[in-house]
Amino acid sequence: MNKAFFGLVAVGLPLSIIGTIFHWRSTILFIIYCVTIIALASYMGRATESLSIVAGPRIGGLLNATFGNAVELIIAIFALKEGLISVVLASLTGSVLGNLLLVAGLSFFLGGLKFKRQSFNIFDARHNSGLLIFAVIVAFVIPEIFSMSLTEEKTMVFSIGIGIILIILYLAALFFKLVTHRGVYQSQKESVESDEEAPEWGKWKAITVLGLATLAVAYVSENLVHTFEEVGEAFGWSELFIGVIIVAIVGNAAEHASAIIMAVKNKMDVAVEIAIGSTLQVAMFVAPLLVLISLLFPVSMPLVFTIPELVTMVSAVLLMVVISNDGESNWFEGGILLAAYFIIGIGFYLL
Amino acid sequence: MNKAFFGLVAVGLPLSIIGTIFHWRSTILFIIYCVTIIALASYMGRATESLSIVAGPRIGGLLNATFGNAVELIIAIFALKEGLISVVLASLTGSVLGNLLLVAGLSFFLGGLKFKRQSFNIFDARHNSGLLIFAVIVAFVIPEIFSMSLTEEKTMVFSIGIGIILIILYLAALFFKLVTHRGVYQSQKESVESDEEAPEWGKWKAITVLGLATLAVAYVSENLVHTFEEVGEAFGWSELFIGVIIVAIVGNAAEHASAIIMAVKNKMDVAVEIAIGSTLQVAMFVAPLLVLISLLFPVSMPLVFTIPELVTMVSAVLLMVVISNDGESNWFEGGILLAAYFIIGIGFYLL
Amino acid sequence: MNKAFFGLVAVGLPLSIIGTIFHWRSTILFIIYCVTIIALASYMGRATESLSIVAGPRIGGLLNATFGNAVELIIAIFALKEGLISVVLASLTGSVLGNLLLVAGLSFFLGGLKFKRQSFNIFDARHNSGLLIFAVIVAFVIPEIFSMSLTEEKTMVFSIGIGIILIILYLAALFFKLVTHRGVYQSQKESVESDEEAPEWGKWKAITVLGLATLAVAYVSENLVHTFEEVGEAFGWSELFIGVIIVAIVGNAAEHASAIIMAVKNKMDVAVEIAIGSTLQVAMFVAPLLVLISLLFPVSMPLVFTIPELVTMVSAVLLMVVISNDGESNWFEGGILLAAYFIIGIGFYLL
């Protein structure tokens, strides 16, 4: 797996640079960029993981929380710079949907084909359920509804207020998990297991890889954003579809792979943590951060999704809350999540 | 009970035929048709049950799943043929509401008057909760929201796509329940109990009864559909009210009776399975099948409910998910469900 | 604490009377009235509690249920008399939000700072969850949605019907809790504890205090209602903000204080019961009662909230249902509820 990613970077990055310089056709560039970003993301993931182990659980948790969705953040910043507000909101929607339905769905489904019943930490699942309802239903739906009777300026003020509250609550959640209640809700077995890990790379090698990969992702992302319009025309895809489905899959490919691997190894705790943790990170950290960052650009981004985006996110959250509520999974629960993802995918394609 | 139904068929069927030929007043015919269908439905139910026992649990489950809502399906097909799309959608809504609120409500309430606390299989309840959220919130709400910005043609494409996914998932749910995970989530007690049953009728008698009753239901249903307009005028009922409340009660009368009988016998597992299983069958099998069948008729039916229909179905689903979540019931929980049904009934009456 | 309230009444009540007679500035009167009502409410609370103990658990429960939100009811009746329908609906919304998010949030947060994990009766929590979904999603959302296609007159008929059903179900809930299922879902420990209490005041003293405090609250409330318009102008607050945030905090101050005290004493059962019980009382008893009382006034009040009011209430209910579902709390869960309250507060301030 790692070798394949090395090959992809070794080929994809030069091709990205050459193709950009010589203005190859957008559709070809789009594919090259996407593949390169996915391969680079795997390097960022491995570097972050090594650093986390070296730094110990607290700083490690913080690092994972910050760099876990770095790729999406970078792509989104370049899209913001271009004023593509609706693409950014669509890609945030796509991340939420992709993680909750596609990543978790595939994990439950493929894990469930191998094991009849898989279980995960029920306390974490319930803790996450509360945050999902908060982030998606309180923090996303309410500004949309209120914005209907607010001026644009007031909507932006409201968005900034919500953004700050989301980030504070996200940091509080980390503090809760890593400091005040570390291990409180863990079973004995889990706490023993976690000692064994050894980092893949040393501290400085990890930092170097992380820095270089981030730079490369930034370079490719900036160019990727410019291809959206032409690619949309070529394939008959709307901006919404590109944002919700394509960008989200590219931005989250690393999580997809690792969650599924964990599920097939019957480490369902980790798979669920990746899928739902990543969703929460996007909703409670990446999204509000982008609102604040957008203030630096000419066009600022309010936290106002479209109705189809909100309805699909709310459905996905309710589905996940009900399905994860018992701390168990099987192939059929995975099937439900995947079926929901297909329905939503068709919907955004037609829109 | 069975004798009463025999009498009703023996009187109702000839009256239905004579009344139809001699063009009696619609309101009188309407009542005769409804009573006759209810009585015939009990025969179809008994025949299906006998066949299920003869055929063994797997084929039996499939038979139950297919013929369980045959009456509704037949009435709906004749309504589709007449182009009464909104009546069909209303009757699907009514089936969902009637099963979730009226059937389960009466079962919980009457069972709860006799027993202080009744319990049912919590795994099944949670499995069903996930499917309810999927069917009603993902598969019903999303097309309605997306249809607002879609052309009629694209809405129909989306409906067909969702219909196919729903039917596949419904079949997967049967496969899960009857093959891969049969008995996995069952308590010891239950699995023993189920051996004792003996079929009421032999294989060929059951098939004959089922065939004849189905034909008779089809004949009466076709005529029933023609009375809706005049009956609505006579009683001041809207088409919506007829569909949501009247057709749904007639179409589900058999389930109502058997669920309540089971609840009073403290077989709460079966009562809940009938109520929620029947809801899922309507939402995941009958509704999408009707969408596909409607393609054969001049007017095709998209899976787009009205807002009041959706809001009441979503409320009913959330109520049931929360109430069934603990695997226990009592008379007051039944009261909540019945109160919700009354509120919704008044609402559709006024609409 | 009690001495402080005595002082506030001793100073606030005369000042209220003098200020009213001499027409002091509205903003100053507003503050005096609010403080006086809060202090008087504490007397009403203590009198009700003493009476409850004297009267035994059944009548006591009924008394608590009736007088628990008497202050809100009185303020609302005077607002109705003035035709301030939207202020009344806003203050009902505010009570629901304040109890579910602010009272429960502060209880969970402050209790959680002292104790790592606090637990409360999971049966009560689930029972209440069902009622919350019923009251807010079935009984509040449905009339709003239906009212869009109903005449004003029919909307009022629907509201009265729902009001009567809500009150019947509320009484049934009391009957369930105090008669048919008393102690059925209680742990051994709890049932022992409750014997020890002794009433603060004797029967007649309690009745006298309750009567006098109620009269005084009525007098001050009538005048308070008249200050809303000028206060709104002075502070730049909309009627909605005054209703949802200010009136709700004043009307519920007593519950706020006692719930938090209980939480810090680790009597989480009582704290949750105050917060959620009070919400249910408002939604299922005070709100429908006001609909019925409004029929006596020139302008009658339908049970039709605005969309922002409904969306915030539904969010709050879903958040509470998911968070209370495990029968445990910690500081972070309190933080989530408080964060939701802040977001909603900002929203109504901007509206």
Distance from C-alpha of A224 to C-alpha of A217, rounded to nearest angstrom: 10
Distance from C-alpha of A111 to C-alpha of A124, rounded to nearest angstrom: 19
- Chains touching chain C, criterion 3+ CB pairs below 8 Å: A, B
Which carries the bigger pLDDT value, residue A299 or residue B68? Answer: A299
Nearest CA in chain B to A112: B180
Distance from C-alpha of A326 to C-alpha of B123, rounded to nearest angstrom: 9
Contacts with C, A 223-252, CB within 8 Å? none
Predicted pLDDT of residue C192: 46
Interface predicted TM-score (ipTM): 0.89
Instruction: Name chain A contacts of B158, Cβ cutoff 8 Å.
Output: 346-347, 350
Answer whether B304's CB lies under 8 Å from B297's CB.
no
Distance from C-alpha of B100 to C-alpha of B119, rounded to nearest angstrom: 17
Task: Check whether C284 has a pLDDT greater than 90.
Answer: yes
pTM for this entry: 0.91
Over residues A137-157, the pLDDT tens digits come to 999 999 999 999 999 999 999
Distance from C-alpha of C108 to C-alpha of A5, rounded to nearest angstrom: 47
Task: Check whether A196 has a pLDDT greater than 70.
Answer: no
Residues 6+ apart with CB under 8 A from C38: C8, C250, C253, C254
Q: Do B184 and A117 touch (CB under 8 A)?
A: yes
Alpha helices in chain A, H assignment, sequence order: 2-21, 26-67, 70-81, 85-97, 104-114, 122-132, 142-147, 152-175, 188-193, 203-235, 239-241, 248-264, 268-281, 287-293, 307-324, 331-350
E strand spans, C33-185: 118-119
- The tokens of C256 are what? 């706020």
Task: Check whether A192 has a pLDDT greater than 50.
Answer: no
> How crowded is residue C148: how many other Cβ atoms within 10 Å of its Cβ?
10
Residues 6+ apart with CB under 8 A from A103: A252, A255, A256, A259, A260, A274, A275, A278
Query: What is the distance in angstroms between the Cα of A171 and the nearest Cα belonging to chain C?
Result: 11
Answer whether B301's CB lies under 8 Å from B89's CB.
yes
Q: Which of C138, C145, C169 sits opposite B307 (nearest CB)?
A: C145
Task: Check whether C191 has a pLDDT greater than 60.
Answer: no
Q: How far is CA A177 from CA A123, A196, C209, in A?
A: 12, 21, 49
Q: Do C130 and B340 touch (CB under 8 A)?
A: no
Over residues C123-164, the pLDDT tens digits come to 888 889 999 999 999 999 999 999 999 999 999 999 999 999
Name all contacts of B32-36 with Cβ < 8 Å and 24+ positions apart.
Answer: B33/B220, B33/B221, B33/B223, B33/B224, B33/B227, B34/B224, B34/B246, B34/B250, B35/B8, B36/B8, B36/B9, B36/B12, B36/B216, B36/B220
Predicted pLDDT of residue A257: 78
Interface test mutation site (partner A, options B138, B153, B178, max chain A beta carbons within 10 A)? B138
- The tokens of C63 are what? 């008394």
What is the pLDDT confidence band of residue B232, given thresholds at 50, 70 and 90? confident
Task: Check whether C57 has a pLDDT greater than 80.
Answer: no
Q: Which of A84-98, B270-284, C240-254 has the lowest mean pLDDT?
A: C240-254
Q: How far is CA B224 from CA B75, B221, B254, B350, in A?
A: 8, 5, 18, 23
Distance from C-alpha of B122 to C-alpha of B276, rounded to nearest angstrom: 13
Which carries the bigger pLDDT value, residue C310 or residue B55? Answer: C310
Residue tagged 């019961």 (tokens): C273
Instruction: Name chain A contacts of B186, Cβ cutoff 8 Å.
Output: none
C313 closest CA partner among C166, C138, C146, C174: C138
Over residues B159-183, the pLDDT tens digits come to 999 999 999 999 999 889 888 888 7
Return left, alpha or beta for B83; rule: phi > 0 is left, psi -120 to 50 is alpha, else beta: left
Q: Which of A322, A331, A350 sits opposite B321 (nearest CB)?
A: A322
Task: Check whether A178 has a pLDDT greater than 60.
Answer: yes
Instruction: Name chain B contacts of A343, Cβ cutoff 8 Å.
Output: 138-139, 142, 161-162, 165
| Cα angle A318, A324, A327; round to 5 | 160
Residue A266 sits at φ, ψ, to 5 deg, of 65, 20
Predicted pLDDT of residue B192: 46
Chain centre to alpha carbon of residue A295: 22
Handedness of CA C75, C76, C77, C78 (dihedral sign): positive
Strand A328-329 with A118-119, pairing: antiparallel
What is the pLDDT confidence band of residue C196, given thresholds at 50, 70 and 90? low
Q: Do C326 and A126 touch (CB under 8 A)?
A: yes
> How crowded is residue B103: how many other Cβ atoms within 10 Å of its Cβ?
31
Query: What is the distance in angstroms between the Cα of A350 and the nearest Cα belonging to chain B?
Result: 7
Distance from C-alpha of C268 to C-alpha of C118, rounded to nearest angstrom: 7
Q: Which of B130, B133, B154 sits opposite A350 (nearest CB)?
A: B154
Q: Do B336 and C130 touch (CB under 8 A)?
A: yes
DSSP letter string over A3-18? HHHHHHHHHHHHHHHH
> Is A338 an interface residue toward C (CB < 8 Å)?
no
B348 closest CA partner among B232, B252, B256: B232
Strand C328-329 with A328-329, pairing: unpaired
Distance from C-alpha of B229 to C-alpha of B239, rounded to nearest angstrom: 7
